[in-house]
A and B are shown apart, each in its own frame.
Chain A
Amino acid sequence: MMNSWKQVVALLIFGGILQGCGGTPDVQEPADETIIWFAEESASRGVDFVHRSGHVEQHLLPEITGSGIAVVDVNNDGWLDLYFVQSGSLLGPDETSVNSLYLNLGNGNFSLQSIESGAADNGYGMGVAAADYDNDGDNDLFVTNVGPNRMFENDGTGKFSDVTGRAGLGDEQWGTSAAFLDLDRDGDLDLYHANYLHWSIEIELDCFGSGVLTYCPPINYRAPAIDLVFRNDGDKTFIDVTREAGVHLSFGNGFGVVGADFDHNGFVDVFVANDLMVNQLWMNQGEMTFTDEAMTRGSGVDGYGVAKAGMGVASEDFDQDGDFDILVVNLTGESDSFFRNEGTHFIDSTSEIGLSAPSRRYTRFGVIMADFDNDGRLDLYEANGGVSPVDLAAADIYAEPNTLFRGTPDGRLEEVDLQGGTEFPLNATSRGAAVGDLDNDGGLDLVVVNRDARAYVLMNRHPNRGNWIQFSVLNDFGSDAVGASVSLIRGGQRVYGSVRPEGSYLSSNDPRVHFGLGTSSSVEDVRVLWPSGDVEAFGDFEGGQTTVLRHGTGEPSEWTR
């Protein structure tokens, strides 16, 4: 073998290494050219949030990345509220650019509570995660910034106090998407948050796109950042366990984050969509340790071996086979990547579900996979907008229309006839997007943040929506049981959903678990797989309602796939 380590060192120095280092209808339904799925009602519903990138002259990378939105009930009145993350200015403090909370008035209309909410952070805002971190029965907010992140604790009425220091969550890097997940299965929510890259104005670069100066791709900075993992110790404090967890061992320009138990070992794994770098799939080994298995499990690059510009991510059981698949959205010219979970690994099945061709027209950020028409099949909404100029003559040179795909009976997605599902195409530089039933009518609505423009509130107006059922899945503390899975029989077939607020891009979704039922009036044998591993059966339910499933109130049962 090697006689001397001196020889090895010499080899390294003078040799090579240092030199460079379910129950779905079985008949095809014709697409209806005239169907309006959503109506943009921000103005009439009292939502006047306008994102500010702070762009003046020099192109500073964070300005193009936009910000996120949390769709979450902050005052426990059963109605979803809206928390918008504001960016602001990278050139100095901007007291007027603060995050904004809009309280739902109990009818899907909103009232702005900004400074008085206590959560009006004025950092250069990026993303938000919403969940009950202290198990006191209300939703708290974690905000990522370019600069110190913020943790806001809810007093139960929608009033927040800044507990960043005590919680130990004020990392000062460029944070992006975040997720509260019970990674160690100890009953409280830990935190994973992606960091994009090591950035400061001093390292900013000049890049050209369409012949004009514009924002640079992240790889030009050659400074991808480590994501961070924090263990919740149950006393309102977190410990940074990134190194102990092994998460410091791989890097990426992280944007989208989603958690799920992809390999059914009982522990939540974490998938990170990286921008122009290999995605990460942190497989949870238990005891809060992870290994990045994205490449060996087939979700690091696409089927052709390309590391795409990963932005937002969604994870749902698209093929309803009992495990969670992953959809990553990417840059214009690159298709989406749909990684179908095969149990032990993933297979890029983007073309099989019909997305290879139509998805590549625009640059996508926010991504929602949900059943908008309640026909029992998942649809897909993508919030789009360029990162280099799209139309130099336009008022917003990065603007692109959003897109909506409907799920078809043969397990594919096809674009709806009215682009984006609205009467007229909406054109903006869209970024964060979140889903939730804002008016509690059983139809899933959307909220989209637009760079340097007013946000969209897209109310579901599909005229032929099917029946539905929605579950509030609550733990022993009365909080949403993040990470719990729900299965039920619909039309003779077992289908699956989960309590998963994280996902999309920089955003947090309605934690309630929604199922479209098509023409079915009821569901059977509802079961919950709790984060602890317990399974409970809750029986049958009539559709058309939001029902509470509370831990400990069902019958012990088995989880079936």
Chain B
Amino acid sequence: MTTGWGCFKEPEGSEPRCVWALIALHAGIGLLLLSGGCGEVPIGIEVDPPHVIDTSSVNVELSEAVASNIELIHQNPQSATLRGRLAMTYEVNHFPDAALVMYEQASRLDAREFAWWYFGALIDHQKGNFDSALSKIGNALDIDPGYIPAHLHQGTWLLDVNRLDDAFRAFSEAATLGAGSPAAVGLAQVYLRQDDPQSVLDVLIPYSQSLPHPQIWRLLATAFGQLGLSEEAEVARTLGREPMPLQWLDPIRQRPNQYIFGYGRRIVYAQSLMNANRYAEALRILEELEEQERDDVALISSLAVAYEKTQQPEKAKEFLEYGIEQFPDQYRFYAHLGDLMYRAGHSQDALDMLQKSIEITELNPIAYERLGAVQMRLEAFDESIEAFEKAIEYGHADVSNIHLMMGTIHGYRQQWSDAVEDLEKVVELDPSNADGHLYLAHALLESDQLQEAEETLDWATRVGIDPELLESASLELQSRTEESESQP
């Protein structure tokens, strides 16, 4: 399982550890290099004047920072650090072409600085300039051959341009350095392209148990398929159906973010941190922004999420109430507050808030889903089902879970055919949902569909049901079967 974004438990037989400790060490070195201008050539290299772009239409803060940096570069034209800083400023404020020019200038002045080559390579890759990207990342790795994320990027890009032998070397190097599953996945992709499915199994099966990431299962599914193992392929495809990419941490890559200027851009950055579960960092930025501008819907909404996720529900509630006071038509605030109240156990208050949110707009799948949950808790099951159905109608993203809740309600009320109908949808939408299979098996048993219950349990076994639950379910199935067979 992942233990955070890209930090993985290693396969059995090796020491469980977070390989990214190594990366953190490298990040520290990178920090030193960036802050000290270490390794700069003091004189003698001819370099163009800094690339100047007009950022005044974007925001004053950015414009002033750029002007100030350019002034410093004019005073210290041989400073790679200053040019690199300008490059980072351009990059994170969405001027990639200008950033690329400045990274190249910085690299010319200080060819021993890893970051300038690395950042330039990443921009080149985004723009589809693969030759340049590969050349630059090669230069970066010459400087720091121990930085695992660079090897992983290099391998991936080489795969993208079909240079399979070179990609193999890059992923092998990453594996040697302790990259773990990301390197194994890279190697597996090379093997697949080389029509060598057996090697895919050899490299990935150890990880499929310790790190059951869907990307690993997807690759295994293809390999099983190529080997003619269709049943194994089907199970692997099922386990790989979650649309989740395998990612890895890249601490050095985070460095330019300190140069994000402008209210809107910083909010977006804070939101991206929250998407990566880095709520405390996001909260620091949002609190700074609050000092500039308190009355902003996006800020209030983001602050409420950040406070909630950092275990400060009272602060979250306070901001949402403030938001409702300032923006009484913002249905999201009511929905969020309703959710907070639900979690705090205040069902009636939650109900009121969610209903207010829905009064403002019907197109409100999240509020309907929460409403269904609240009604379920209040044992208002008809209303709960109605709300869940609305949530589905208006496009809630997790239809499978909603059907699971609806199926559970039907089961509670012993409406077995309805329960079966909903739970069948659960496993149709998410065949890897072991709970769904288990509940469905039970509902099928109650409906005297013993054969179907047995098949469902069989599938649940393959997708990883809890052994204790499986045992008790099997016993019940056995008992029902015997009971059925003993009847004339």
Contact = CB atoms under 8 A, between A and B. Distances in A.
Contact of A351 (B160, B246, B366, B439): B160
A296 B233 CA distance: 10
Given A223-B394, A251-B395, A351-B160, A304 B412 contact: no
Given A8-B412, A223-B394, A305-B214, A18 B241 contact: no
Contacts of B408: 5, 8-9, 12
Given A1-B472, A212-B57, A251-B395, A301 B243 contact: yes
A211 B361 contact: no
Contacts of A13: 373, 376-377
A333 B297 CA distance: 29
Given A249-B399, A358-B128, A223 B365 contact: yes
Interface residues of A, number: 68
A296 B234 CA distance: 8
B243 A307 contact: yes
Interface string A273-317: 000001000000000000100011110110111110000000000
B59 A211 contact: yes
Contacts of B298: 205-206
A206 B246 contact: no
Main secondary structure of the interface of B (DSSP, over half): helix
B412 A5 contact: yes
Nearest to A251: B395
A94 to B, nearest CB: 23
Contacts of B439: 2, 8
Interface stretch (B8-16, B109-117, B136-144, B260-268): B260-268
Interface in A313-362: 332-333, 335, 342, 344-345, 347, 350-352, 354, 356-361
Contact of B395 (A5, A6, A224, A392): A224
A470 B442 CA distance: 59
Interface string B364-407: 01100100010011000000000000001111111101101100
Contacts of B161: 351, 356-357
A471 to B, nearest CB: 35
A357 B130 CA distance: 6
A159 interface: no
A515 B346 CA distance: 68
Interface stretch (A59-67, A75-83, A194-202, A460-468): A194-202
A399 B27 CA distance: 38
Contacts of B242: 295
B178 interface: no
A213 interface: yes
Interface in B227-249: 234, 237-238, 240-246
B131 to A, nearest CB: 9
A32 B206 CA distance: 50
Nearest to A302: B245
B245 A304 contact: yes
A211 B66 CA distance: 14
Given A8-B411, A211-B264, A249 B363 contact: no
Contacts, number: 181
Nearest to B391: A21
A250 B399 CA distance: 7
A212 B95 CA distance: 13
A208 interface: yes
A295 B438 contact: no
Given A249-B425, A295-B240, A305-B245, A197 B395 contact: yes
Interface in B38-83: 54-55, 57-59, 62
Contacts of A306: 243, 245
Contact of A291 (B95, B234, B428): B428
Interface in A390-430: 392-393
A1 B245 contact: no
Interface string B195-234: 0000000000000000000110010011001000000001
B311 interface: no
B31 interface: no
B405 A335 contact: no
Contacts of A211: 55, 58-59, 62, 93-94, 262, 264-265
Interface string A252-287: 000000000000000000000000001000000000
B395 A1 contact: no
Contacts of B476: 1
Nearest to B413: A5
B160 A202 contact: no
Contacts of A210: 58, 93-95
A361 B58 contact: no
A435 B322 CA distance: 54
A345 B237 CA distance: 10
A27 interface: no
A278 B242 CA distance: 10
B364 to A, nearest CB: 8
Contacts of A296: 234, 237-238, 241, 431
B127 interface: yes
Interface of A: 1-2, 5-6, 8-9, 12-13, 17-19, 21, 197-200, 202-203, 205-213, 222-226, 248-251, 278, 291, 295-298, 300-301, 303-307, 332-333, 335, 342, 344-345, 347, 350-352, 354, 356-361, 392-393
5 contacts: A5-B412, A12-B405, A206-B297, A208-B265, A223-B394
Given A203-B361, A305-B214, A344-B225, 6 more contacts: A1-B473, A211-B264, A295-B241, A298-B218, A305-B218, A360-B126
Interface of B: 54-55, 57-59, 62, 93-95, 126-130, 156, 159-162, 189, 193, 214-215, 218, 221-222, 225, 234, 237-238, 240-246, 262, 264-265, 267-268, 297-298, 331, 343, 360-361, 363, 365-366, 369, 373, 376-377, 392-399, 401-402, 404-405, 408-409, 411-412, 414, 425, 428-429, 431, 435, 438-439, 441-442, 445, 469, 472-473, 475-476
10 cross-chain pairs, A with B, having the tightest CB-CB distances, nearest first: A208-B264, A211-B58, A356-B160, A305-B245, A295-B241, A5-B412, A210-B94, A357-B130, A1-B473, A296-B237
